[in-house]
Structure 1
Amino acid sequence: MPIPARPHFQFWPKRLPAAIVLPETSLWANLEVSALRYADKAAIRYFGNAITFRELEAQATALAGWLQQKAGVKKGDRVLLYMQNCPQFIVSYYAILRADAVVVPVNPMNRAEEFKHYVTDAQARVAIFTADLAAGVEQAQAELEPAQRLQHLLVTQYADALPPAHEHPEDAPPAWLTTPHPLPAGATKWADALGAGLQPGPHTAGPDDMAVMPYTSGTTGFPKGCIHTHRSVMHNIVGGATWSGSGAESVVLSVLPLFHVTGMQYGMNGPIYSGATVVMLPRWDREVAGRLISRYQVTHWTNIPTMVIDFLASPNLAEFDLSSLRYIGGGGAAMPQAVAERLREQFGLNYLEGYGLSETMAPTHSNPSDRPKLQCLGVPTFNTDARVIDPVTLKELPPNEIGEIIVSGPQVFKGYWGKEDATREAFIEFEGKTFFRTGDLGRMDEEGYYFITDRLKRMINASGFKVWPAEVENLLYKHPDVQEACIIGTRDPYRGETVKAVVVLRAHARGKTTPEQIIDWAKDNMAAYKYPRVVEFVEALPKSGTGKVMWRQLQESENARNPAASAAPSA
């Protein structure tokens, strides 16, 4: 069904088609085609090491052979991918696809308790990870029942992808990348898996088969797997390249985490589709980023606003050559107007904000380069319909009235893995089409541009990382001194918003346990972006007549004490 005329089409960039046509292939075909077209062109540059498209395809094929022949991976099996940004992530990702299996990316900041959930919920039997995370994997394995455990472990050291010498000593890899770590007993080494030279069977996955299952948290319980097909992932790969004008001549700075859908699409999948070169930075470092942009003449850089804020604060900013940059943008949080204006005035660059979720495999909205608006989600992208509805009556609202944003398009996921009720609740029928309820409150202006105003879901946005209170609470309840806990957001001058725990201590701990001890414990048991930075002890949590914790009351009290606490929008 064609998308009805929407206000933004009168401002649609003339250089862009109104809709895109997707290849009727799997994601693996994107690498296969680029390896054929650009065999000896650098697909990845990593600390001076250049991996060509030919080499990338060969490594992924060999690893797919190991997955099928040694690890017993079959079509549709879920394989965990657990590492920070490195070439091995990309090789593993495409090897899993070549083996007709499903990539389950895991945040490398997750600890053993969090990792266990991915193993059991995805019913995974194989994991590929880096040795620095091996201790957490071993702990998770030990705590799981034998029938639940991973059966095959493939481990790599970060140094496996580093060159023997470095052409630019000032950008030599940091010690954490070169330090070897012990391998778990029974694990297969990366070099052994690739060196076996095993060939996979025929590639049979098609556009409607499962391809990737990123996890997202909800307002209750643990993270949920988002079922994405090759087709739903492909839509934003092709759309992103078309929207940003990326091609084989482009050079992409890949610094956002590849386990996250935005980094995955713009820092890996998109460049592989278009034949662009990825310049990879495993962790954010503004000085190294500036030198890489200058040295390799980076043309495209997708990021989060806090990176740009930090980058512009570099004392060496004047020494960086940013003249090659043609596209800079991102999401996760609103770009402060003053920073966006400085970027435009000093470097002639418009920061293009966008909006998307794990459920939509990155953007549903983007700002057009020739007519962006500041602190704005942009307009619905190719083949995408979006509306603002009253979350109670489900009726569409006129421009500038605040309601829930709903979206419909080829990039929308198929549902939550193993959770039929949550899937039903996530979708509504509207004007004869199925729309996904984003849970975000916003408005559409008269020109069809969308703006976030608040959150319908209970979520904290810390530097672009989405923190779901219920998940943090579930983990916090494992502390022996915690009787009750409620997680809310509080203002942070750098992160925009951060995590606060309102805690009722058990009787034995009162007057003995300190907030700092709770924070230290949480730091050891939760991902770095997730653990509470602030802990407040109370005698009791406010509760409703049915016994539910009235988290909204606590959040409103926090906002009243600190009015800026809920100012940062989500994306």
Structure 2
Amino acid sequence: MSASPRHHAFWPARVPHAIHVPTTSIWHNLAVSAQRYPDKAALVFFDRVTTYGELLSQTERLAAALHALGVRQGDRVLLNMQNVPQLIVAHFAILRANAVVVPVNPMNRAEELKHYIQDAQAKVALTTADLAPLLAAASNDLPAAERLSQLVVTQYRDAFDVDTAVGTPAMAAGWVDWLVPERPLPQLEGGQVHAWQPLLQTTEAPPPHVAGADDMAVLPYTSGTTGLPKGCIHPHRTLMHNTVAGSLWGQGHSEAITLAVVPMFHATGIVSMLYTTIYCASTLVLMPRWDRDVAGHLISRWKVTSWTNIPTMVIDLMSSPQFAQYDLSSLTSIGGGGAAMPQAVAQRLLDQYGLVYQEGYGLTETAAPTHANHISHPKQQCLGMPFVGTDARVVDPETLLEMPVGESGEIIVRGPQIFSGYWRNPEATQAAFVEFDGQRYFRTGDMGRMDEEGFFFITDRLKRMINASGFKVWPAEVELLMYKHPAVQEACVIASRDAYRGESPKAVVVLRADHQHTTAEDIVAWCRDNMAAYKVPREVAFVAALPKSGSGKVLWRVLQDEQDAQNARNAAVAV
């Protein structure tokens, strides 16, 4: 790391510049917290409290059951759930069994799920009953040798009391038909399907816990500018670093109460929320999906002190007709990333509630934060300063020469939280790193600048990525799926401005000659059936041909520039 970095002049008091990373596993954090606070609330879900002692016991019983189903050290196990207690039990049970968690976005459809099963070479998956048919359909459509052999399915009502939850402010009216019914288990060709509750009744002992700092713990998937999603290899040590560093940065402690609504299949939800909470023996108040009035009620009811979110959630909560009824006075920490917090909203939080919205920046490859703002010296609409133990530079993306202060370039980072590489993809791993000043740095692919105080700001779009309410949409992945539509000859996905989401996908499509009758609505409906909702193009435009280079490559930036110009004209008219 360079001598006396600029941001050290603004470094938060009592936070070390670097830390020694524990050599124990992530699961060990739960064991320690349960030993210290067996009767303390670990999870709250519709007023049902799960103590740390109960959470540890459930985790060990499920780990034993997974071992009995054939899960062994290093095996990749798919975990496809919303933010419910079973996700946390399953996540730590997989780690307890010395295996690897493969977190999957529950919004994915069967066509998308096939890739995760195949690429991770997973034989076991855990999911909820509403999602189980999709996983089963994905597995059943694969060659026999690549299918799942075991599917563990939980009903939502396994984790809450129906009689006391329905009709309360903690359960949105629209959730009742989703969470309450008991659904039948699907058929898994060539495999077995197991109900959740019987597995938790096992009396067998789990295997010895032997996973250590250098063993793979989590294999989250990230998409990119080309191809299908890639698995990011994270051993326990990379995750442990940001867990411990995050607790120091946020002044985490055992009395904190965290609202858990950021999805825990995502790096931020896993590391900055789930792992840090368990490490500190704090309490997680769980929301299975976003609802502004449920969030307002839970913050008030449980005196939530910490809320990691996406800025659109804050905007939505503040626009609720019921907002004045909610008590936010318990909140001492609020922040997030994935999308910029509008300056006006951040200022309102500060002026009305004394809350500093702390923005941060990180990637799946970096176990969440590489940059963060601290409450002691925050900057609005800023990535923050390099995180604990992290060195970040701004370089010319072509020459890799360091850029002067204030000038834009690609952000590269080095630190103990950086992933080991892409799963089964050495070429992509090699391309992701660069040598700079004799050290190995990860190329973020994001363009940014550093100011005089050493704080970083995003400046431009280097990666071809769409940011929809904090969800990253990779056009290449959407295009690959769209090519499976029988009417689509060619497709190019670009970003269109969205007043609420910030950006939304727009598809520019060339139809096949024998499918000219196909409508935009037909394409959108097909996309809804075959890809996660946030990836679905909100608009489809038909053209006779896509612009191409002399070598035949689609010039997506030409279409993007045309769309950006149209967005600017629309904004001018609106003013």
Q: TM-score range by the shorter chain?
A: over 0.9
Report the aligned-residue RMSD. Answer: 1.3
State the 1:266 CA deviation: 2.8
Partner in structure 2 of residue 569 of structure 1 = none
State the 1:164 CA deviation: 4.9
Structure 1 stretch displaced more, 357-366 or 165-174: 165-174
Please list every run of at least 4 consecutive aligned residues from structure 1 whose deviation after the TM superposition is greater than 4 angstroms: none
Secondary structure of the corresponding residue to residue 421 of structure 2 = coil
Q: Residue 111 of structure 1: which of 109, 112, 137 is its match?
A: 109
Unaligned stretches of 5+ residues in structure 2: none
On the 8 A contact 2:259/2:284 being kept in 1, the answer is yes
Give a deviation string over 1:287-331, Cα, whole Å, max 9, x none: 111111111111110001000000111222222111111100000
Residues 1:533 and 2:532 are matched in the alignment: no
**1:196 & 1:444 partners in 2: Cα distance?**
55
Secondary structure of the corresponding residue to residue 364 of structure 1 = strand
When residues 49 and 564 of structure 1 are mapped into structure 2, their CA distance, relative to the original with a 3 A threshold, is farther
State the 1:171 CA deviation: 2.1
**1:547 & 1:170 partners in 2: Cα distance?**
56
State the 1:41 CA deviation: 0.3
Q: How many residues align?
A: 563
Partner in structure 1 of residue 351 of structure 2 = 345
**1:233 & 1:129 partners in 2: Cα distance?**
23
Partner in structure 2 of residue 181 of structure 1 = 183
Q: Using the aligned pairs only, state the percent identity.
A: 60
On the 8 A contact 2:414/2:442 being kept in 1, the answer is yes
Residues 1:405 and 2:411 are matched in the alignment: yes
Secondary structure of the corresponding residue to residue 269 of structure 2 = helix
Equivalent positions of 1:12-411 (< 5 A) are 12-69=11-68, 71-166=69-164, 169-172=168-171, 174-175=175-176, 176-185=178-187, 186-411=192-417
State the 1:8 CA deviation: 0.3
TM-score by length of 2: 0.96
Structure 1 stretch displaced more, 311-320 or 547-556: 311-320
Give a deviation string over 1:23-74, Cα, whole Å, max 9, x none: 11000110000000010001000001100001101111011111112x2111
**1:116 & 1:565 partners in 2: Cα distance?**
40
Give a deviation string over 1:163-193, Cα, whole Å, max 9, x none: 2542782324631111222102331110111
**2:37 & 2:322 partners in 1: Cα distance?**
35
When residues 557 and 266 of structure 1 are mapped into structure 2, their CA distance, relative to the original with a 3 A threshold, is same
State the 1:457 CA deviation: 1.2
Give a deviation string over 1:523-546, Cα, whole Å, max 9, x none: 111101001110000000111111
**1:428 & 1:201 partners in 2: Cα distance?**
40
Q: What amino acid is the match of 2:179?
A: L
Secondary structure of the corresponding residue to residue 486 of structure 2 = coil
Give a deviation string over 1:107-147, Cα, whole Å, max 9, x none: 00000010000000000010001110122112112210000
Equivalent positions of 1:452-463 (< 5 A) are 452-463=458-469
State the 1:471 CA deviation: 0.5
Secondary structure of the corresponding residue to residue 154 of structure 1 = strand
**2:98 & 2:58 partners in 1: Cα distance?**
16
Residues 1:425 and 2:431 are matched in the alignment: yes
**1:165 & 1:253 partners in 2: Cα distance?**
23
**1:110 & 1:164 partners in 2: Cα distance?**
27
When residues 275 and 479 of structure 1 are mapped into structure 2, their CA distance, relative to the original with a 3 A threshold, is same
**1:84 & 1:170 partners in 2: Cα distance?**
19
Q: What amino acid is the match of 1:362?
A: A
**1:243 & 1:404 partners in 2: Cα distance?**
26
State the 1:3 CA deviation: 5.3
Secondary structure of the corresponding residue to residue 169 of structure 2 = helix
Give a deviation string over 1:6-25, Cα, whole Å, max 9, x none: 10001111232222222110
Unaligned stretches of 5+ residues in structure 1: 567-571
Residues 1:543 and 2:545 are matched in the alignment: no
Residues 1:557 and 2:562 are matched in the alignment: yes
Give a deviation string over 1:431-473, Cα, whole Å, max 9, x none: 1221100000000000000000112111111110000011000
On the 8 A contact 2:117/2:139 being kept in 1, the answer is no
Residues 1:492 and 2:490 are matched in the alignment: no
Q: What amino acid is the match of 2:26?
A: L
**2:57 & 2:569 partners in 1: Cα distance?**
51
On the 8 A contact 2:465/2:474 being kept in 1, the answer is yes
Structure 1 stretch displaced more, 438-447 or 310-319: 310-319
**2:203 & 2:320 partners in 1: Cα distance?**
46
**1:218 & 1:266 partners in 2: Cα distance?**
23
**1:564 & 1:465 partners in 2: Cα distance?**
26
Give a deviation string over 1:403-428, Cα, whole Å, max 9, x none: 00001011110000000000000001
When residues 417 and 405 of structure 1 are mapped into structure 2, their CA distance, relative to the original with a 3 A threshold, is same
**1:54 & 1:164 partners in 2: Cα distance?**
24
Secondary structure of the corresponding residue to residue 363 of structure 1 = strand
Partner in structure 1 of residue 480 of structure 2 = 474
**2:76 & 2:108 partners in 1: Cα distance?**
18
State the 1:4 CA deviation: 3.1
On the 8 A contact 1:497/1:565 being kept in 2, the answer is no
Secondary structure of the corresponding residue to residue 535 of structure 2 = coil
Secondary structure of the corresponding residue to residue 245 of structure 1 = coil
Q: What amino acid is the match of 1:182?
A: P
Partner in structure 1 of residue 3 of structure 2 = 4
On the 8 A contact 2:169/2:297 being kept in 1, the answer is no
When residues 246 and 565 of structure 1 are mapped into structure 2, their CA distance, relative to the original with a 3 A threshold, is farther
**1:233 & 1:16 partners in 2: Cα distance?**
18
TM-score by length of 1: 0.97
**2:159 & 2:2 partners in 1: Cα distance?**
46
Secondary structure of the corresponding residue to residue 439 of structure 1 = strand
